[in-house]
Every structure is written in C-alpha cells, then in structure tokens.
Structure 1
Amino acid sequence: MSWAVLVLAGLVEIAWSQSIKPTENLTRPLPTLLCLALAAAAIRLLSKAMDGVPVGTAYAVFTGIGAAGAVTLGVVAGDDPVSAGRVAALAMIIGGVVLAKLA
C-alpha cells in the first residue's frame, strides 16, 4: 500500500510542478492557492508513504516520478524540445525509480 501512496504522491507532484507557472510568481490568488494545496497534498502523501518505504528510497522515487512527469508533460503538452540527451536522461530517471522499487 505504501508504494501505491508513493506513486500517487509522485503524480500529485507532477500536477504541482505544472501549477507553479500559472501563479505568475505567486501574484495570482486562485492559481497560487491551487499550487499551495497541491504542494501540501504531495508532501502529505509522501509522508504517509514513508510509513512503509525507507525515507531515502521514498524521496528518490517521489522526485524521480515528478521529474520524469514534468519532462514528459513539457514535451507532450508544452513546447519543450526533444533530443537524444533528454530521452536518455528520462530513461535513466525511470530506470532509477524501477531499480529503487526492486532493490
């Protein structure tokens, strides 16, 4: 169950990362409230996942999911460039998350 909560925390972190830019440097009240709520939810879920997953592993997986998701969304939904280096980096992040789960 802790691993499922950890994956959910990572997914919420992806949403949180995408909610930062619309705040326009925290000057827009509603986007800022959403951003803060998503950040709090991600941290709460991460904290809960740490009940059953070691802290270092949980944090590494959490940030890995967030990073991979943010890069993927940037390429798919934004105008972030695709390059061999970015694809290789994404593959290494995903590989690290999988290895952390298996180890």
Structure 2
Amino acid sequence: MNISHIEHIGIAVKNLEESIRYYEEVLGLKCYAIEEVKDQQVKTAFFQVGQTKIELLESTSDDGPVGKFIEKKGEGIHHLAFAVNDIEKSLRKPMIKASG
C-alpha cells in the first residue's frame, strides 16, 4: 500500500455543537461542512488543517457505531483515513484487523 497522506481523522464526540465551538474558538479552525449520514447514524462536522481534515462524529443513536464506541471507550479518535495512490491495488491486498 502506498499511502500519500492522512486524508482525515475521525473523532467521536458526545456533543457536536459544543465540539464545533471548541475547535473554532479555542483552536481557531473553521467548520466548513456539517452533514448527517443516516445509514451510519451519525452527524459530522469538518475542519481543514493543512492537507488533512478533522471529522467530528456525533452519534444520532446509542445503537449506532459511534454511539457504541463512545459508550465503550469514551470520546476520542475513532478512525484514521489514509489517502493512497492506487485504491484498486490497495483494496486487493490482505487486511490485518487492528485489535480493540
């Protein structure tokens, strides 16, 4: 796999509005998009930091993937998304599942 950069960092949060306010007022970043992904039961907010995006994730359901994550592990980094030069080739390689 030939990773070119971190595309985005997904961070699970309990309250999207409060988290947006923190990222804007304390860190000086600007939220450029908010969207709901119904099939993942999540609302997201995006910030750009150089070449990388930060994606805040608030669960819209306790039973959703992010809701379960927060219940088990608390708020924090949920996932890293890497950009690769050849996605088709990268998808053909065997994956090693991370523990946790």
For the aligned pair, the TM-score class normalised by the smaller chain equals under 0.3
Normalised by the length of structure 1, the TM-score is 0.24
User: Greater strand percent: which structure?
Assistant: 2
Normalised by the length of structure 2, the TM-score is 0.25
User: Greater helix percent: which structure?
Assistant: 1
